[in-house]
Structure 1
């Protein structure tokens, strides 16, 4: 029993020490489900640092709720190079319906078209396989303005295709850095005759 625990701890520790996100840019669909509605959305993820991605999500229920989220996410590998978990947060804004309770009359006032602003948190797992990224996440929203409910949560499933692989992105970054360094070196070289040229 102790051996199994030690083996599990070793594997998890090794997994956390390496980051193995296999893509640079991924684009696809996100299906969201909450107590209030079901949404269909567009999700794009862009790797901006070895363990960091930016994700933009635009989603709607094609009725009374449409939101846009911009999230910063931190990734950690889990058990294998293609399977990892992530967490993060960011801002969300949109047009949503709201339910306001009036205890004195025992009424619920339902409004829609409310311009909302809030904070989104996110946590999930993802699997990169055969040029695609499949993820399952939970995305709670904390309302700052525009809606009566302070908190709403949503479970989402995303399927994204890899547009740019991580190694291709790194190669382009190295090429740009190399060209930049070459330009700096060529501009810093001065000849003896340059000192005697008149301005």
Structure 2
């Protein structure tokens, strides 16, 4: 019974916390494919991520733009997330059986993973299936990766709380032009 209550309390607390402790983070993605990644928070629990990657298994480069929704898990620094977006690739591989080159891949990408932010470091592990609607060597690629990013702009929680407290003490300053 106590374990159930504790689990319920943790879940309720996790849902009430704000997600992501950063605004902008940039770094490397290593895994099935490797490359560069930049993540930008656009709303309280929503980010846009751009990934430029190449593969060790295929001869192609890929640019992916993803929108992700973050859900805090226990704390604002530990999130699970999911989302999707589009990818566009450039295939420089060998020709196929008909003798013509492969078409450059274009399609949909899904992503799901877990994210941890500690200080100025952001670490994620995710699964990122890509579905080629046009071109590519295969129709579906399943990619996994670990991204290590440096937080360029950190979300300023303390200043926001201080401003809120000051407004509550002073009330609303309707004559802002007099300051």
Please report the TM-score for the alignment, with normalisation by the length of structure 2: 0.79
Are residues 1:73 and 2:45 paired? no
What is the aligned residue count?
160
Partner of 1:197: none
Q: CA deviation at 1:9?
A: 2.0
Deviations 1:113-165 (A, max 9, x none): 53110100000001101211000000001110013522111001000000001
Give the Cα–Cα distance (whole angstroms) in 2 for the partners of residues 117 and 71 of structure 1: 14
Are residues 1:43 and 2:43 paired? no
1:1-199 to structure 2, matched below 5 A, reads 2-33=1-32, 39-61=33-55, 64-96=59-91, 114-147=103-136, 149-167=138-156
Higher Rg of the two aligned structures:
1
Give the Cα–Cα distance (whole angstroms) in 1 for the partners of residues 99 and 110 of structure 2: 26
Structure 1 residue matching 2:132: 3-state secondary structure: strand
Structure 2 residue matching 1:29: 3-state secondary structure: strand
Q: CA deviation at 1:77?
A: 0.6
Give the Cα–Cα distance (whole angstroms) in 2 for the partners of residues 23 and 86 of structure 1: 15
Q: Give the alignment's Cα RMSD to 1 decimal.
A: 2.8
Q: CA deviation at 1:5?
A: 1.8
- Contact kept, 8 Å, 2:103 with 2:134, in 1: the verdict is no
Give the Cα–Cα distance (whole angstroms) in 1 for the partners of residues 136 and 116 of structure 2: 34
Structure 2 residue matching 1:15: 3-state secondary structure: helix
* 113 and 77 in structure 1: CA distance in 2 versus 1, 3 angstrom threshold: same
Q: CA deviation at 1:72?
A: 0.3
Deviations 1:1-53 (A, max 9, x none): x22022112201220222231100000000121xxxxx221000001010110
Q: CA deviation at 1:109?
A: 7.9
Q: Which runs of 5+ in 1 are unaligned?
A: 34-38, 101-107, 175-185, 187-199
Structure 1 residue matching 2:105: 3-state secondary structure: strand
